[in-house]
Chains A and B, each alone.
Chain A
Amino acid sequence: MSRILVVDDEAGIRKVVRDGLERAGHEVETAADGQEALSFLEEKVFDLVVTDLTMPRKGGLELVREIRRVSAVPILVLTVRHEEREKVRLLDAGADDYVTKPFGVEELLARVRALLRRRDPGHAPPAQLSWANVVVDLEARTVEKAGKPVHLTPTEFALLAKLTEKPGAVWTHRQLLAAVWGTTAGVTNDTLRVHMGSLRRKLEDDPNRPRFVRTEPWVGYRFIPEE
């Protein structure tokens, strides 16, 4: 069970998100704006913050920045519409993930599960990862799919290691380029796309409909170990 803070100025959304999270067995507190959320955060320790983007008084982006100054608590943002620049700004400010309104509760719960998983106490980065029929050994740098070894190039392996570092979280193009190539100069998003494509061909059952290495259009990529 985790303690989750839900911040939204709309009572309807607060209620729906609270019901969904409580159904999943979490303890939920709600706040109507960023200001109220900050005073909650001063009093109690939370495992996750779910916040709306547009709110009177203190908005979502500002709230993310202020939380990040003092805490590493995972933050999930509820946005409206596909405003890529806004999303990149949120992620760069320190948000871990976002869902776009109108979202489904199941979708929200899946994101919450992924973000909470790496907050589990004693959840040191494991040397071994596995999902579906794939097994990855980060120390030995080996990958198996359906029991057969898969050869990854150093770049592909570095991308996979980076993506799996924070399951469920979105990595922006810039964050990935900086982490894997050490620079964003001279490397384009298209380069990233080509490497992600070959990584998918090696690890996904249907590379045309990737389930684990997901594209966040015009923002970046995320790794989802579910299903």
Chain B
Amino acid sequence: MIEGLRARQVGYPAAVFLVLATIGILKLFPGLADSSVALLLLLSVFLSAWIWESGPGALAAVVATLGFNFFFIPPVHTFTVEDPRNVVALGVFLISGLLIGRLSATGRERLRLVEAERSDLAHLTRLSQAFLSDTNRESLLGVAASRLQDALGAVHVSIFLADGTGQLSRATATSDESVRHDLAELAYRQGNSAAFPSERGGTDIYLPIPVGVQRAGVLVARGLRSSERMAEGCAVLLGLALERERFLRMARAAEETKTSDQMKSTLLAALAHDLKTPVTAARGAIENWAAEAGPSEKSRLALEQVQALTRRIGELMEVVKLDSGIARPQREIVGAAEIVEAAVARFGEALGNHSLFVDAGPTSALVEVDPGQITEALGHGLENAAAYSPPGAEIRISVAAAGDSVFLRVADRGGGVPAADREHAFERFVRLPPAQSVPGTGLGLSIARSLVEMNGGSLKLSEAPGGGALFEIRLLRAGEAGQTPSSMPLPGDFSRP
């Protein structure tokens, strides 16, 4: 009711009516002193200004002054003033009326603003609670438009969202009322809001939905009753809710990937177990048989074949692991020379017929890699060198640091790889002509390169100084070179080599 009366259109006549009614009532009590009449009239001015605010308040002051003069100051029923003192009194009355009206209206306006802000705040709080309880995009969008409509007191609310390519489309709306797509597009592209009076009453507003320094889309409200600031607050809140929902979705996806990776790992471990168990049993049976019956050409051949089978299974398991994407490197900082030592310890036995030279140099260069994977890669280099160089020939494994790189190299004295074939050699199942007489699958180099690249390094083949092939792993150097072992505070004699 009061809300309706307060509207501007009724304010002026209502204020005039209130003052005139007051005059009418005062005329019923002719015995009243002029000062009492003046005070009661000022009260009517105050009330008019409180209810209908400044414009009607000022009009009430003027009407009250004229009415006071016409009905109460002698000679009554004329606008003439006999006593000059009454002219002054009338002037003071008018100024007082205007001042009281102004003060009352200002107070009322401030109160109204505070109330509006408080209600906005309450709406925003409710909205944020509602948004936070939604953990899924569909349900969030499903109710967001109507919640925003309530909060903004709007006739219609639409939410436009951009897809991955920046294409804007209407994601949800409270009704199928038309909105201006060009303005939505503009708000999204430029990040500026547009607001203008609506033919539906209130304001039409096009607001970008901020997400960090970017924009998720555009919030459109038609016939907005609340302030633009409130609408901006809602847009920010919506941006936060969308962002939160996106993070939740990412976290869920990561969790799912992890579970599926764990499942793959378990399956692969079971597969490895199932493949290796019979091979182990077969190998053991041959060894036991050979030990009882005495070694023979037959048992030697059987053992050789089982060992070849073992290596093939190992390579295939590695390829499956790489292809399934679960061979994620678990990187740690290790000494490059440690990798060389590990590779020699693990694969050295396979180089039985070659003379092996290890040149770990004085380097204490560190690398941040998965040590097992790089050892494996270097091992393939050693196996390659052994397979493709004549028995007894020298194989040199070395580590060297230069600038920000660390090089792990295996050099052999075989026939080498022609420059044109070097990249080709890294393809799966490719076996170059001189190697085709040696048993193998052609997977080793391809596995080695995948393992090295997974750890941020590179692997290439080139020519070794003495002819032969050079297998070279290049890794990024990690940490400070100052951490040499000899600088450690340790007991004992470290000056000797």
Contacts and interface: CB of A to CB of B under 8 A. Distances in A.
Interface in B349-394: 356-358, 360, 364, 366, 371-372, 375-376
A139 to B, nearest CB: 20
Nearest to B276: A101
Interface extent on A, as a size class?
35 or more
A215 B489 contact: no
B288 A23 contact: yes
A218 B490 contact: no
A16 B490 contact: no
A158 B344 CA distance: 25
Nearest to A17: B284
Given A10-B277, A102-B280, A218 B375 contact: yes
Nearest to A78: B280
Contacts of B279: 102
Nearest to B489: A186
B345 A216 contact: yes
B341 interface: yes
Interface extent on B, as a size class?
35 or more
A80 B280 CA distance: 10
Contact of B358 (A13, A16, A208): A208
Contacts of B337: 190, 193
B485 A16 contact: no
A218 B284 contact: no
Interface centre among A80, A108, A189 (most CB of B within 10 A): A80
A209 B496 CA distance: 22
A181 interface: yes
Contacts of B334: 189-190
B292 A23 contact: yes
A54 B284 contact: no
A188 B485 contact: yes
A13 B490 contact: no
A161 to B, nearest CB: 13
Interface in A44-101: 54, 80-82, 84, 101
Contact of A154 (B283, B287, B491): B491
Would you list the 9 A-B pairs with minimal beta carbon distance, nearest first? A16-B284, A155-B492, A217-B342, A12-B281, A215-B345, A190-B335, A153-B493, A102-B280, A105-B287
16 contacts: A10-B281, A16-B285, A23-B288, A80-B276, A81-B317, A82-B346, A105-B284, A154-B493, A186-B489, A187-B490, A188-B483, A191-B488, A208-B357, A217-B341, A217-B345, A218-B372
